[in-house]
Structure 1
Amino acid sequence: MSDGEFTFAGLPGGVAVSHLCVYDWPAADGERGGTPHLHLTCSEAYVVTGGRGAVQTLTTSGYEVTPLAPGTVAWFTPGTVHRLVNEDGLRITVLMQNSGLPEAGDAVLTLPPEYLTDPETYAAATTVPADAPEAERERFARARRDLALQGYRALREATGPEPLAAFHRAAAALVRPRLAGWRERWQRGAQAAAAATGDQLDRLERGDVTHLADAVVRSEQPSEQGRFGMCGRLDVYRQGQ
């Protein structure tokens, strides 16, 4: 194993972080909050920094509601349909596996089945136009939230496991064309971070401490503020993504 074979410059462990102000837009069911969706390969964690609310989750084990208050840390694994509800100024620091892949493609919204038939149809219903005026971007983000809530309600009200299983299959089919890119991000991020730790352990076992002389300190400000995300307005960071 040669010196420098394993390098990783991202956030610890190949995670990514963003700051989230959860939408307070009212929905048809009277709740205020974000767009229900799931991730297929990434876990995600919420560190609540302000306000109050809840995360609604739907898995093959059923429907649950987890209260969120300052100091709460809540996380969930791939396959968890989740919807953030804002009861009073809910603010969250989001930790994302695989260098931010959850906000870079590893998410499928719970749209009605007719919007999940192919990537083009799905993209037309979910992609916020980046160059549009802010008011138009907000209108589109809110409309896709409401559309996803239609499919979400159908999944919650369904009898038996097949509707959720069908959504899982449709979601997997939608993202299949992008898996090569996801694998590359994982290799640059979490896999490289784990390999770097293994390399450091090997060095220490040999009595080699030269990697300690390469220590660095980094910091950064958000690379983008107020992006219309799935669950709310996002401040995002470039490092590790």
Structure 2
Amino acid sequence: MTTAAAPAPIFPGGTSVTRLAVYDDAAPDGVAGGTPHLHTASTEAYVVTSGYGSIQTISPEGFQETALRPGSVAWFTPGTIHRAVSHRDLEVLVIMSNAGLPEAGDAVMTFPDHIVSDPVRYRDAASLPPAGSPESELLEAARRRRDLGVEGFVALKAAAETDPQAFNAALNRFYAHATALVAPKASSWRDIWESTVAKATAQTDQALTALAEGRSVHLLEAALAEVPPSSGIRSFGMCGRLRTYNVQAG
């Protein structure tokens, strides 16, 4: 008799992991880096593996720039608009909470008001050519998207540095637009969250209860999982070129 294979263990904390090489070509403002955006439900962490750069952020506290160097660890919560900047060959290990939510549309890019306020215009501006398109075509589309996001980011940054009242109004307006964009999808995200973060939390709760009672039955579920990085050309993400890991599949 064969025993059914145990389900793959959840990646620690229900997180996801990606290798990121930050774009090193300059946007219209002369800064080399990725597309500014925020996450509406997830916290993101950068672990710098090589190179130098910074993370530019905008939050209700205003604009901030944090230097990144090999060994740096920085993270930012939902609502923090962030822009990865490469000074020299910046590569980062990205750890995202709520595995599956960013892929489901948790991120919103800082396009100008007339685009981010219109779901159809936003979708058209955010979309890239289909997978399998020529790499040059994908790169050009990613640059156009990045430059449009930088346009909105620069306007918010200027307001943060010169006019606090106008900045607060503009930031709240962007938050409202971002929320409206993801609201139709958010109810379906709970199923993703329950299968990752909530499930991992429940397993820890059960393990602690068992240990306190002197039971070891949960240790019989010991398992190992391994997945390779994505193959083919590195995909074009918002911040740079990506190698992803399908940790949800184990």
What is the TM-score with the length of structure 1 in the denominator? Answer: 0.93
Q: Kindly report which structure 2 residues correspond to 1:190-205, keeping only aligned pairs within 5 A, or say none.
A: 190-205=197-212
Which residue type is aligned with residue 230 of structure 2? S
Deviation string, structure 1 residues 155-183 (Cα, Å, up to 9, x no partner): 11122210011000000000001102221
Q: Distance in 2 between matches of 1:110 and 1:90?
A: 22
Q: Which residue matches 2:145?
A: 144
Q: CA deviation at 1:8?
A: 7.3
Q: Which residue matches 1:102?
A: 102
Q: Distance in 2 between matches of 1:154 and 1:32?
A: 17
Q: Distance in 2 between matches of 1:19 and 1:101?
A: 18
> Is structure 2 residue 240 aligned with structure 1 residue 239?
no
Contact 2:8 2:224 in 1 (8 A): no
Tell me which moved more, 100-109 or 193-202: 100-109
Distance 1:184 1:118, change over 3 A: farther
Q: Which residue matches 2:37?
A: 37
Q: Kindly report which structure 2 residues correspond to 1:1-241, keeping only aligned pairs within 5 A, or say none.
A: 9-131=9-131, 132-158=133-159, 159=163, 160=165, 161-224=168-231, 226-240=234-248
Q: Distance in 1 between matches of 2:235 and 2:10?
A: 22
Q: CA deviation at 1:240?
A: 2.4
Q: Distance in 1 between matches of 2:75 and 2:230?
A: 25
Tell me which moved more, 42-51 or 125-134: 125-134
Contact 2:17 2:245 in 1 (8 A): yes
Q: Distance in 2 between matches of 1:57 and 1:103?
A: 21
Q: Distance in 2 between matches of 1:220 and 1:22?
A: 23
Structure 1, unmatched stretches of 5+, are: 1-6
Contact 2:40 2:78 in 1 (8 A): yes
Which residue type is aligned with residue 118 of structure 1? D
Secondary structure of the 2:234 match is strand
Q: Distance in 2 between matches of 1:71 and 1:120?
A: 41
What is the TM-score with the length of structure 2 in the denominator? Answer: 0.90
Contact 1:17 1:100 in 2 (8 A): no
Q: How many residue pairs get matched?
A: 235
Structure 2, unmatched stretches of 5+, are: 1-6
Q: Distance in 1 between matches of 2:76 and 2:116?
A: 23
Q: Which residue matches 1:3?
A: none
Which residue type is aligned with residue 142 of structure 2? A
Contact 1:15 1:240 in 2 (8 A): no
Contact 1:8 1:193 in 2 (8 A): no
Contact 1:53 1:68 in 2 (8 A): yes
Q: Distance in 1 between matches of 2:181 and 2:27?
A: 26
Q: Distance in 2 between matches of 1:232 and 1:104?
A: 19
Q: Distance in 2 between matches of 1:36 and 1:157?
A: 15
Q: Which residue matches 2:4?
A: none
Contact 2:100 2:192 in 1 (8 A): no
Q: CA deviation at 1:103?
A: 4.0
After superposing on structure 2, the runs of 4+ consecutive aligned residues of structure 1 that deviate more than 6 Å are none
Q: CA deviation at 1:74?
A: 0.4
What is the Cα-based RMSD across aligned positions, in Å? 1.5
Contact 1:8 1:192 in 2 (8 A): no
Q: Distance in 2 between matches of 1:69 and 1:137?
A: 29
